Amino acid sequence: MAVNEKDIDSILEAYPAKVKRNRKKHIVIKDSSLAHQEIEANTRTIPGIITNRGCAYAGCKGVVLGPIKDIVHITHGPVGCGYYSWLTRRNKAKTLEDGKNYLAYCVTTDMQETDIVFGGEKKLAKVIDEVVEIFKPNGVTVSATCPIGLIGDDINAIAKAAQEKHGIPVMAFSCEGYKGVSQSAGHHIANNGVLEWMVGKGEMTEAPAKYSINMLGEYNIGGDSWEIERFLKEIGYHIIAVATGDGSYENLKNTHVADLNLVQCHRSINYIAEMLEIKYGTPWLKVNFIGVEATVKSLRDMAIYFGDPELIQKTEDVIAREVARVEPILNQYKKICEGKTAFCFVGGSRGHHYQKLFADLGIDTVLAGYEFAHRDDYEGRQVIPDIKPDADSKNIPELHVESDKKLFKLKISPEKAEELKKKIPLSNYEGMNAEMKDGYLIVDDLNHFETERFVELLKPDIFASGIKDKFIPQKMGIPSKQIHSYDYSGPYAGFNGAVKFAEDVTAMFTTPTWNFMTPPWKYKPMLEGTVEEEGN
Amino acid sequence: MKRDKANYRNVNENPCNMCMPMGGILPFKGVEQSMVILHGSQGCATYMRRHIAEHFNEPIDVASSALNEKGTVYGGEKNRKQGLDNLIKLYSPGIIGILTTCLAETIGEDIGRITSDYRNEHELHRLPIITVPTPGYGGSHTEGYWLAAKQIVSGLARQTPRHSKINIIVPHISPADIREIKRILDRMDIDFTLFPDFSDTLDRPFSKTYKKIPNGGTRIADIAAMPGAAATVQIGITIDDDLSPGRFLEREFGVPLYNVPIPTGLENMDLFMNVLTEITGSCMPLSLEQERGRLLDCMIDSHKYNFEGRSVIFGEPELVYAVAKTCMENGIFPVVAATGSKNAKLAELLTAEIDKYERQVVLLMDSDFDQIRQNSTSAGANIAIGHSDGRYLTEREGIPLVRLGFPIHDRVGGQRVLSVGYLGTTMLLDRVTNTLLENKYKNYRSSMYEQFYHNGHENNISGKILLSGTEG
């Protein structure tokens, strides 16, 4: 199964020489005999290549801000950008008694040519007024699209004036699509804003309950967060805020008092996690709730952090019960899945996380990669000092935070933290590469051309990715599972999620449809008989 | 009688339309061996591919020049040239479409010049490269569609000796619709060039060998020869002359233009057939006459249910007109007709139709779903016909939705929805009638109970009559 450099070269041969050299650096064959394998990531997309990457606006409004339910998110720009990010990520949110859940709405300033010529500031100000009057939200965000930065609308000034006028937070995000090299830039911009304008605005000064945590980088797609919260609450954790799945300004503003921050999607939220540590003294723990084994490990790591024997016992009790419940079911599905191979190419964390769920089912991930991750998501956070900032990353403002004079509270002593770091991924992420098997492929920013060629080369049994690329393998006769929005299924996280995923994937393997792909006349004659020549 | 309602709000709450480059991609997908590159941020291409792929359930390869901040300062020429190099090397397309976006237009990229420079540098004299200025703020996806269609025709058309083919230019209809129109033309033995033909490219049959650029699409040589055609039948009565490929062929090459509505609905299809028989001299084949008969039979079968329908119709102008007419001739009288596009012609044309009946219709141009919803409830609409985003009418107001048009992203088979011709109309009408019936059945028993056993009083003396169809 293992791939060699020659295979890769023969695929990249089709590119112009310069592109070939560039792409080669984004592809690594895992080899654990080497001290370190570097991969190029978070660099400019090659023009003309059919990439799966999106833009800064998509990362800011679409990913991080979008799921915050009690805030109305205004897209400042022409109609398309708002429309295209309308509910497409399937973030679920429960409406509470206050009725403030605006996720189903797409609100845009719908700029016209005249607005581009004369500026859109007045229109934006009116739209904010209308939105506050219609919805009475707990806050408003304004996300800028490409033309806004170019025509120079001062969205920060408009937001500030509106905030004073209406007495609710109005937050402007300069996440124009051309910023950075992918949606990753937008995550960073959104993280800065959430930390600056939401976190720390609440009344709480200390944790409201024992084992208070925040869950960062969990977006409640298909209800993932609800499944995770189910067992976390049972074990005894108190969840202050989820950033940002089923999240709300009401909860996020008290993020600062938690004892621990969990980081699920490292790429999209690590900035906040880091800044929370500096500003409020709360360390973060890298978790992965995708896959039974990964979930169990994450729960144990959390228990180690708190170190309370009672909590550890409760954790073990819940694990034992849940595993005993789901394992027999998973084992049934495993009979069908075992020995199969997968491609796993998603986002900035799921390319790693879902490998664990596939592994639970006996499926080997032979090619994995991220659309928009950075080197640390592949190689681990220890490489961060080695990453040289380029022109594109310098364009994203870094938020410099200091410890908050009033609210900073060291949650654990530095000595204890050092001790814990030896046992659990505290304020650390080891990256995807560490867990890949030798000979398997790691590909950054996989494109349509390479998808087709790598599928031909490795012939995986299942292709896990997004909607844009899922139809390529499907057309080649290979089932495709959408890991962005789950093909309207889910949740896939936690124990119940693993069962749901196993059920969905197994159903894809076993559907009778695949049996009909080769028409019968291709392999056996439909009519049997002999042709007699005339006159015989 | 109609009532126009202007939208005085600045906010667009739940849009009913998409942006210009999105629409511009589609006609290119209807040309053989074509590839499109969007000049702007890569997010535009990604978002649009995502939406088109979800509707058609097909891979949609659209490249991007992936402009970044540097490009906004120094111009995007380098990126675009590099993009074209890579696209040509990997895909070897037979034609390339370059669509601009908000970004390229706002920084004032001269795509015409960049393209001709590129062509000269690379000596690409035989590879057609068509440029279309489609800033997102320049119009809705409908205008993008027509502008791209017009640019393709004007870019490829060549003075051609007269020939006997006729040009058929289609709006944004489904691949199944295009196939049906081709079948009808074949039945009539008409020699035609249909453009843009995305019936195979956006709805390709399964075959195990994957091709990056799917087979199918209008042949480039056929588009080039459109000026020699005997006539153009353009399904597009709501489009501006500036955006009309048919008008271009008429003005530049003297090809007579017949603008007709989408042949959905008996009258619209009759008109389509009349135009075809008039131009070609062929007569209506018996098989089509029988299809017409079956449609009539269907209309008679369902008329006693359809009169209860009060429809809200929304989507692209061309579709709204055809569906509104279909509803009118079946007594499913529209109470709201709406589009997200700014289209004065649609309002004019619909008003002329509505005036034939003594009814009130609310016409909403440049509308959003908030306005559509409010007007639908106040007008007592009980059936919605349009694309998937109208699902809010069902979720919020219990108005059932018959999915038609683009995008259909919460159901499969958008590419297979057939609604043109006598056959397609029959199928659409059955869907509409059955949706009304389904709602009626759902409420019938409870409304009967309400009428006769209300408050435990058997045989309710007041004899209050409740129409089952008007209940939520």
**Per-residue DSSP letters for B437-449?**
HHHHHHHHHHHHH
For residue B137, give the nearest of A51, A57, A111 by CB distance: A111
**Has residue A147 been placed in a domain?**
yes
Task: Verify whether the Cβ–Cβ distance B65 to A126 is below 8 Å.
Answer: no
Place of tokens 């000026």: B227
Tell me whether residue A256 is one of the annotated catalytic residues. no
Q: pLDDT tier at A518 (50, 70, 90 boundaries)? A: confident
Q: How far is A406 from chain B (nearest CA, A)?
A: 39
Tell me the chain B residues in contact with residue A108 when contact means C-beta distances shorter than 8 Å. 11-12, 15
For residue A147, give the nearest of B66, B87, B137 by CB distance: B137
Question: What is the pLDDT, as a whole number, of residue B458?
Answer: 60
Average pLDDT taken over every residue of chain A? 95
pLDDT one digit per residue (tens) for chain B, 472 residues:
566 666 778 999 999 999 999 999 999 999 999 999 999 999 999 999 999 999 999 999 999 999 999 888 889 999 999 999 999 999 999 999 999 999 999 999 999 999 999 999 988 888 999 999 999 999 999 999 999 999 999 999 999 999 999 999 999 999 999 999 999 999 999 999 999 999 999 999 998 789 999 999 999 999 999 999 999 999 999 999 999 999 999 999 999 999 999 999 999 999 999 999 999 998 899 999 999 999 999 999 999 999 999 999 999 999 999 999 999 999 999 999 999 999 999 999 999 999 988 888 999 999 999 999 999 999 999 999 999 999 999 999 999 999 999 999 999 999 999 999 999 999 999 999 999 999 999 988 988 888 888 765 565 555 555 544 444 3
Task: Verify whether the Cβ–Cβ distance B10 to A130 is below 8 Å.
Answer: yes
Question: What is the pLDDT, as a whole number, of residue A392?
Answer: 86
Out of A26, A73, A90, A187, pick the active-site residue.
Answer: A187
Q: Which of residues 117-146 of B touch A (CB under 8 A)?
A: 135-138, 140
**Has residue A86 been placed in a domain?**
yes
**Has residue A455 been placed in a domain?**
no
Mean pLDDT confidence for A488-512: 97
A522, amino acid identity: K
Out of A73, A76, A89, A374, pick the active-site residue.
Answer: A89
Question: What is the pLDDT, as a whole number, of residue B5?
Answer: 65
Mean pLDDT confidence for A434-458: 96
Q: What is d(CA A275, CA A527) in angstroms, rounded to the nearest whole number? A: 73
Beta strands in B134-247 (DSSP E): 166-169, 192-195, 231-235
Task: Verify whether the Cβ–Cβ distance B17 to A78 is below 8 Å.
Answer: no
Task: Determine the residue among B37, B65, B210, B212 to mutate to test chain A binding: the one whose Cβ has the most chain A Cβ atoms within 10 Å.
Answer: B210
**Has residue A240 been placed in a domain?**
no
- pLDDT for A406 beyond 50: yes
Confirm if A429 and A266 have CB atoms less than 8 A apart: yes
Confirm if A284 and A276 have CB atoms less than 8 A apart: yes
Question: What is the pLDDT, as a whole number, of residue B137?
Answer: 96
Tell me whether residue A23 is one of the annotated catalytic residues. no
DSSP secondary structure string for all residues of B274-301: HHHHHHH-PPPPHHHHHHHHHHHHHHHH
Q: Does B19 touch chain A (CB under 8 A)?
A: yes
Task: Verify whether the Cβ–Cβ distance A131 to B11 is below 8 Å.
Answer: yes
Q: Does B9 touch chain A (CB under 8 A)?
A: yes
Question: What is the pLDDT, as a whole number, of residue A531?
Answer: 63
**Has residue A129 been placed in a domain?**
yes
- pLDDT for A1 beyond 80: no
Task: Verify whether the Cβ–Cβ distance B89 to A127 is below 8 Å.
Answer: no
Tell me whether residue A187 is one of the annotated catalytic residues. yes
Question: What is the pLDDT, as a whole number, of residue A520?
Answer: 82
Whichever domain contains A154, its CATH number is 3.40.50.1980
pLDDT tens, position by position, A9-19: 999 999 999 99
Largest Cα span, chain A:
107
Please state which of the ranges A26-30, A254-258, A513-517, B319-323 shows the lowest mean pLDDT: A513-517
Task: Verify whether the Cβ–Cβ distance B82 to A391 is below 8 Å.
Answer: no
Mean pLDDT confidence for A101-128: 96
Q: How far is A396 from chain B (nearest CA, A)?
A: 11
Q: How far is B7 from chain A (nearest CA, A)?
A: 13
Confirm if B166 and B194 have CB atoms less than 8 A apart: no
Q: Does B107 touch chain A (CB under 8 A)?
A: yes
**Any idea what DSSP says for residue B458?**
T
**Has residue A95 been placed in a domain?**
yes
- Helical axes A467-475 vs A448-458, angle rounded to 10°: 40
Bridge partners, A518 (sequence order): none
Q: Does B307 touch chain A (CB under 8 A)?
A: no
Task: Verify whether the Cβ–Cβ distance A55 to B41 is below 8 Å.
Answer: yes
Tell me the chain B residues in contact with residue A127 when contact means C-beta distances shorter than 8 Å. 10-11
Q: Which of residues 34-63 of B touch A (CB under 8 A)?
A: 37, 40-44, 46-51, 53-54, 57-63
Mean pLDDT confidence for A452-471: 95
Give the residue among A188, A102, A116 at the shortest CA–CA distance from A145: A116
**Has residue A372 been placed in a domain?**
no
Task: Verify whether the Cβ–Cβ distance A178 to B71 is below 8 Å.
Answer: yes
Out of A41, A55, A337, A502, pick the active-site residue.
Answer: A55
For residue A150, give the nearest of B58, B90, B106 by CB distance: B106
In angstroms, the first-to-last Cα distance of chain A is: 56
Task: Verify whether the Cβ–Cβ distance A53 to B46 is below 8 Å.
Answer: yes
Confirm if B398 and B375 have CB atoms less than 8 A apart: no
Task: Verify whether the Cβ–Cβ distance B106 to A78 is below 8 Å.
Answer: no
Confirm if A489 and A464 have CB atoms less than 8 A apart: no
pLDDT tens, position by position, A337-385: 999 999 999 988 999 999 999 999 999 999 999 999 999 999 999 999 9
| Total Cβ atoms within 10 A of residue A417 | 16
pLDDT tens, position by position, B13-47: 999 999 999 999 999 999 999 999 999 999 999 99
Q: What is d(CA A110, CA B77) in angstroms, rounded to the nearest whole number? A: 28
Q: What percent of chain A has pLDDT over 90?
A: 93
**Has residue A15 been placed in a domain?**
no
Q: How far is A174 from chain B (nearest CA, A)?
A: 13
Task: Verify whether the Cβ–Cβ distance B136 to A112 is below 8 Å.
Answer: no
Task: Verify whether the Cβ–Cβ distance A48 to B57 is below 8 Å.
Answer: no
Q: Does B92 touch chain A (CB under 8 A)?
A: no
Using CB atoms within 10 Å of the CB of residue A515, give its burial: 0 to 12 exposed, 13 to 18 middle, 19+ buried. exposed
Question: What is the pLDDT, as a whole number, of residue B282?
Answer: 87
Question: What is the pLDDT, as a whole number, of residue B2?
Answer: 60
Q: What is d(CA A321, CA A175) in angstroms, rounded to the nearest whole number? A: 45
pLDDT tens, position by position, A173-195: 999 999 999 999 999 999 999 99
Size of interface A-B (CB pairs under 8 A): 229
Out of A41, A58, A190, A258, pick the active-site residue.
Answer: A58
In angstroms, the first-to-last Cα distance of chain B is: 27
Question: What is the pLDDT, as a whole number, of residue A527?
Answer: 65
With 0.90 as the threshold, say if the pTM is over it.
yes
Which chain B residue has its CA at the smallest distance from A52's CA? B46
Question: What is the pLDDT, as a whole number, of residue A361?
Answer: 98
Question: What is the pLDDT, as a whole number, of residue B82?
Answer: 94
Structure tokens belonging to residue B281: 């001299």
For residue B65, give the nearest of A47, A448, A477 by CB distance: A47
Please state which of the ranges A85-89, A198-202, B5-9, B280-284 shows the lowest mean pLDDT: B5-9
Structure tokens belonging to residue A520: 């019968």
Q: Which of residues 217-276 of B touch A (CB under 8 A)?
A: none
Q: Which residue has the higher pLDDT, B363 or A517?
A: B363
Tell me whether residue A89 is one of the annotated catalytic residues. yes
Task: Verify whether the Cβ–Cβ distance A178 to B41 is below 8 Å.
Answer: yes
Question: What is the pLDDT, as a whole number, of residue B4?
Answer: 64
CA distances from A399 to A14, A144, A192, A195, B208 (A): 42, 19, 6, 9, 51
Task: Verify whether the Cβ–Cβ distance B59 to A468 is below 8 Å.
Answer: yes
Question: What is the pLDDT, as a whole number, of residue B471?
Answer: 40
Q: Does B374 touch chain A (CB under 8 A)?
A: no
Task: Verify whether the Cβ–Cβ distance B18 to A51 is below 8 Å.
Answer: no
Instruction: Tell whether the torsion through CA atoms of B374, B377, B378 and B382 is positive or negative.
Output: positive
Domain coverage including residue A152: 56-177
Place of tokens 């409830």: B377
Give the residue among B399, B434, B439, B402 at the shortest CA–CA distance from B301: B434
Question: What is the pLDDT, as a whole number, of residue B470?
Answer: 43
Mean pLDDT confidence for A311-335: 98
Q: Does B414 touch chain A (CB under 8 A)?
A: no
Q: Which of residues 312-341 of B touch A (CB under 8 A)?
A: 340
pLDDT tens, position by position, A249-289: 999 999 999 999 999 999 999 999 999 999 999 999 999 99
Task: Determine the residue among A116, A178, A476 to mutate to test chain B binding: the one whose Cβ has the most chain B Cβ atoms within 10 Å.
Answer: A178
Tell me the chain B residues in contact with residue A52 when contact means C-beta distances shorter than 8 Å. 46
A208 contacts: CB under 8 Å, gap ≥ 6: A238, A240, A257
Structure tokens belonging to residue B172: 């944004």
**Any idea what DSSP says for residue A179?**
S
Look at chain A and report how many structural domains it folds into.
Answer: 1
Strand arrangement of the beta sheet that strand A260-263 belongs to: A238-244, A212-218, A260-263, A284-286
